[in-house]
């Protein structure tokens, strides 16, 4: 189940839900920062959620983007707070289903294959092996796409109400 951590009020203000108070690592941030906890929780959510708009960026770049977006759109926060990594890891574990973990591994395998193909020159001796690799990569890609669709359906089923979800890339 993907907990809904935020609601947007009628005047466009971001507020924390009851779910946010029931996750220990999120509650630790709320207890520490009180009414100023939204930027901290938003940052953790952006860094961990499977539907985060910055999900596909490398980790360092993702951190920079999340920090900037939260500062600009929600409010100032101390990005060096020691509670943040713990909260991010906890939310990642909550947001990850076994199917999603499988999807992530397929994604990593495709990246490894892509790297191999980019860095290994084609020679006459390994042409047959490379052709087989490309054929298998096509099957892996089809599995990846099918798994992505299942995850999007799973995530949609786990969201309550008429909340729109974004697509994972």
Same domain, 90 and 128: no
| Full pLDDT tens readout for the chain, 169 residues | 466 787 877 877 778 888 888 999 999 999 999 989 999 999 998 998 877 889 888 889 999 999 999 999 999 999 999 999 999 999 988 888 788 788 888 888 888 888 988 898 887 778 888 888 888 888 888 888 888 888 777 766 655 444 444 444 4
Q: Last residue of a domain, which of 66, 95, 124?
A: 95
Number of domains comprising the chain = 2
3-class secondary structure per residue, the chain:
CCCCCEEECCCCCEEECHHHHHCHHHHHHHHHHHHHCHHHHHHHHHHHCCCCCCCCCCHHHHHHHHHHHHHHHCCCCCCCCCHHHHHHHHHHHHHCCHHHHHHHHHHHHHHHHHHHHHHCCCCCCCHHHHHHHHHHHHHHHHHHHHHHHHHHHHHHHHCCCCCCCCCCC
Closest alpha carbon to 41 in 1, 77, 93, 12: 77
Domain that holds residue 44: 1-95
Same domain, 120 and 169: yes
Same domain, 20 and 43: yes
Q: Last residue of a domain, which of 76, 95, 114?
A: 95
Same domain, 139 and 162: yes
């Amino acid at each position: 189940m993907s907990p809904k951590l935020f609601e947007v009020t009628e005047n466009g203000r971001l507020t924390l839900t009851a779910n946010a108070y029931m996750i220990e690592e999120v509650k630790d941030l709320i207890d520490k920062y009180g009414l100023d906890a939204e930027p901290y929780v938003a940052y953790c959510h952006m860094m961990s959620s499977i539907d985060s708009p910055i999900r596909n960026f490398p980790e360092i770049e993702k951190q920079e983007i999340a920090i900037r977006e939260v500062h600009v759109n929600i409010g100032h926060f101390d990005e060096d707070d020691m509670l943040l990594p713990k909260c991010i890891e906890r939310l990642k574990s909550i947001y990850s289903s076994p199917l999603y973990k499988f999807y992530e591994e397929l994604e990593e395998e495709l990246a490894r294959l892509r790297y191999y193909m980019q860095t290994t020159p084609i020679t006459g001796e390994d042409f047959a092996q490379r052709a087989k690799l490309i054929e298998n990569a096509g099957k892996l890609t089809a599995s990846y796409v099918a798994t992505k669709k299942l995850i999007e359906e799973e995530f949609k089923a786990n969201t309550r109400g008429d909340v729109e979800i974004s697509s994972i890339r």
